[in-house]
Amino acid sequence: MNLDALPIEKLLLKRKSLRRELLSGSNLHDLRIAVLGGSTTNELVDLLEVLLLNSGFRPTFYQSEYNRYYEDAVLEPQLIANFRPDLTYIHTTAVNIQSYPPLTCTEAELPGHVTAETERFRRIWQSIQQHVDCQIVQNNFELPANAILGNLDAVSPAGRTRFTNELNLALACAARENPRLILQDIQGLATRLGLEKWTDPNRWFSYKLATTIDGSFAIACSLASIVRAVYGKSRKCLVLDLDNTLWGGVIGDDGPDKIQIGRETAIAEAYTDFQEYCLSMQKRGILLAVCSKNNDATAKQGFEHPDSVLKLEHFSAFKANWEPKHENILAIAKELNLGVDSFVFVDDNPAERVIVEAQIPGVAVPDVGTDVSRFAAILEAGRFFEPISLAEDDLQRAKQYEANSQRADAEKKFANYDEYLDSLEMTAEIEPFRPVYMDRIVQLTNKTNQFNLTTRRYTLAELESAIANNHIGIYGKLTDRFGDNGLVSVILGRIENVDLHLDLWLMSCRVLKRDMELAMLDRIAELGRRAGVHTLYGYYRPTAKNGLVSDHYTKMGFTLCSHDSETVTWWLDIRNYRARNNHIKLMELSNG
């Protein structure tokens, strides 16, 4: 069943049977989540469970007793520590705020009240961080149900609306400073839904539920998208139909001059607005692709329209032909080296949506309807592209994919491959993990499936704790004459006496066949030798997606050691190791 198009009324009824169905699936990623609530959290957790199951996780939950979030975290943290959560979610709402200022509160006194409330939560996070290595998610606060002071409630230092806004700002600043803390914006969720639809006093008095079912569902969707983002499962590519999706009308019938785009009519303006939305996604690192039933040349004319906000250069892939759309989407996935589970498909035609959804499990196919003015809101509600942080790399990515096609052109002109590699003028920075790159390292570790020898997943906490304990972790960044590819490769080795066990070796496929793996091997061997290592042990654990690297260690000159059903093991003596990379210049870090 397509959960992306299932309204809450249906989900509420089908939740138990969906849960049963999804639990029987294979390859689910086990996940332990502690939920510390200031209200009854069962409804929220039930919905979250089925959404996470649908995203490939098998969650196990710990829930604090009603309104014991502070006690559980600060006074009896052992309960949570024993549960060993991967993620702890602190769910509190306006009813849990304790330090609302009195009516006599002055401007000078207000910050004290805000700090008092913020500190209470800071103690919760600190205690959790002390006792468990886990990701923490804290939500901010929706505005109070009643504005006692009317409009002044948002202005006066005694106003609860003003206080909530100040508190939310303080929480945002706290999250900016603490890499383990992710802030969930339920103020935004409540605003989009409307406070009247967000809470129901009846539910609070009767069941201590802080939100309506619609509110619980919005929170669960948002939280599921945060979890997907933490584990590198956010989607990366927006695949778009053309006629009546990116412009009004049928370009093949109406002609490029007659399509509806621009500012002349209401309809044209709505399509322009959706194009601007797509462009803003592209600018923040989401790839755009076209999948349209059209002649290629005709389709491209649409983007030459002077009012078209989107231009051809904004698309990383362009398929306009008469083949079935699901086949084109598979071709786009191959071309971009991305899994279809990172795609979201937008088409006004329900028949196309149905066939894509049926033929390619994993592609998100939201029911966008046929009204372009609703497309962006429906995509937003699906929370497909949740980022955890705005990494430089995300902003660069769209450009890199463009540069890739130039590289492919350049490749054709060289007599041999070495000559081509040299012409790329590659420079790499390969160094031990640095705090500034940890977000990207975690992101890459959790989303790389093809060039990934062991497909082990690590949270930030696990990686940080590994490198503090007898591990060597290195990252590689690669630049060439077409652009900066960013951080593209990671190796994590575990030292045991004179052996270095390579628990993790992965690389982004966009730098495949560039000798980057040799440069990485050179560096890990060098660092290993400095640490007294004699032998490298390499492991290959086959999955459905990593066949590409089944002979990686053979290519790297390792000797086969053993293999069982799950793991193939190789070794390499590095006592007399000589560097092998000839095509990539290593960059020294200026300040260590």
The piece of 10-18, 144-152, 228-236, 489-497 that touches other proteins (CB under 8 A) is 10-18
Query: Residue 218 or residue 289: which is nearer to other proteins going by CB?
Result: 218
Amino acid identity of residue 324, one-letter, is: P
In whole angstroms, the minimum distance from the beta carbon of 2 to other proteins comes to 18
Angle in degrees, CA 540, 546, 547, rounded to 5:
90
Query: Residue 20 or residue 258: which is nearer to other proteins going by CB?
Result: 20
Which residue carries 């996935």 as its tokens?
A: 333
Contact 232, 445 (CB under 8 A): yes
Q: Kindly tell me which residue out of 31, 43, 72, 300 binds other proteins, with binding defined by CB under 8 A.
A: 43
Q: Kindly tell me which residue out of 2, 4, 14, 467 binds other proteins, with binding defined by CB under 8 A.
A: 14
How many residues line the site for other proteins (CB under 8 A)? 18
- Interface with other proteins, residue 17, by CB under 8 A: yes
The piece of 6-14, 335-343, 378-386, 559-567 that touches other proteins (CB under 8 A) is 6-14
The piece of 13-21, 463-471, 489-497, 537-545 that touches other proteins (CB under 8 A) is 13-21
Q: How much is the CA Rg of the chain, to the nearest whole Å?
A: 26
In whole angstroms, the minimum distance from the beta carbon of 197 to other proteins comes to 12
In whole angstroms, the minimum distance from the beta carbon of 514 to other proteins comes to 52
Query: Residue 43 or residue 153: which is nearer to other proteins going by CB?
Result: 43
Q: Distance between CA atoms of 462 and 465, rounded to whole angstroms?
A: 5
- Interface with other proteins, residue 42, by CB under 8 A: yes
Q: Distance between CA atoms of 146 and 450, rounded to whole angstroms?
A: 53
Q: Distance between CA atoms of 540 and 547, rounded to whole angstroms?
A: 10
- Interface with other proteins, residue 1, by CB under 8 A: no
Nearest Cα to Cα of residue 540 among 587, 584, 502: 502
Query: Residue 67 or residue 321: which is nearer to other proteins going by CB?
Result: 67
Cβ neighbours for 87, distance < 8 A, ≥ 6 positions apart: 31, 32, 33, 34, 134, 135, 136, 137, 227, 230
In whole angstroms, the minimum distance from the beta carbon of 9 to other proteins comes to 5
- Interface with other proteins, residue 12, by CB under 8 A: yes
Cβ neighbours for 476, distance < 8 A, ≥ 6 positions apart: 428, 429, 430, 487, 488, 489, 490, 507, 516, 519, 520, 523
- Interface with other proteins, residue 13, by CB under 8 A: yes
In whole angstroms, the minimum distance from the beta carbon of 219 to other proteins comes to 15
Q: Distance between CA atoms of 518 and 511, rounded to whole angstroms?
A: 12
In whole angstroms, the minimum distance from the beta carbon of 7 to other proteins comes to 9
Q: What's the gap between Cα 393 and its chain centre? A: 13
Q: Distance between CA atoms of 262 and 554, rounded to whole angstroms?
A: 57
Amino acid identity of residue 221, one-letter, is: C
3-state secondary structure 457-501: CCCHHHHHHHHCCCEEEEEEEEEECCEEEEEEEEEEEEEECCEEE
**Tokens at 476, concatenated:** 């590689």
- Interface with other proteins, residue 66, by CB under 8 A: no
Q: Kindly tell me which residue out of 1, 9, 172, 498 binds other proteins, with binding defined by CB under 8 A.
A: 9
The piece of 38-46, 362-370, 381-389, 557-565 that touches other proteins (CB under 8 A) is 38-46
In whole angstroms, the minimum distance from the beta carbon of 511 to other proteins comes to 48
Q: Distance between CA atoms of 143 and 44, rounded to whole angstroms?
A: 20
In whole angstroms, the minimum distance from the beta carbon of 68 to other proteins comes to 17
Q: Distance between CA atoms of 570 and 568, rounded to whole angstroms?
A: 7
Cβ neighbours for 43, distance < 8 A, ≥ 6 positions apart: 209, 213, 216
Query: Residue 22 or residue 73: which is nearer to other proteins going by CB?
Result: 22
In whole angstroms, the minimum distance from the beta carbon of 19 to other proteins comes to 8
Query: Residue 215 or residue 302: which is nearer to other proteins going by CB?
Result: 215
Cβ neighbours for 22, distance < 8 A, ≥ 6 positions apart: 50, 53, 54
Site map 197..236 versus other proteins, x via CB under 8 A: ----xx--xxx-x---x-----------------------
Q: Kindly tell me which residue out of 20, 84, 192, 334 binds other proteins, with binding defined by CB under 8 A.
A: 20
Between the alpha carbon of residue 444 and those of residues 57, 89, 238, 451, the distances in Å are: 18, 24, 20, 11
Query: Residue 34 or residue 209: which is nearer to other proteins going by CB?
Result: 209
Site map 411..440 versus other proteins, x via CB under 8 A: ------------------------------
- Interface with other proteins, residue 8, by CB under 8 A: yes
Query: Residue 204 or residue 577: which is nearer to other proteins going by CB?
Result: 204
Interface residues toward other proteins, by CB under 8 A: 8-9, 12-14, 16-17, 20, 42-43, 46, 201-202, 205-207, 209, 213
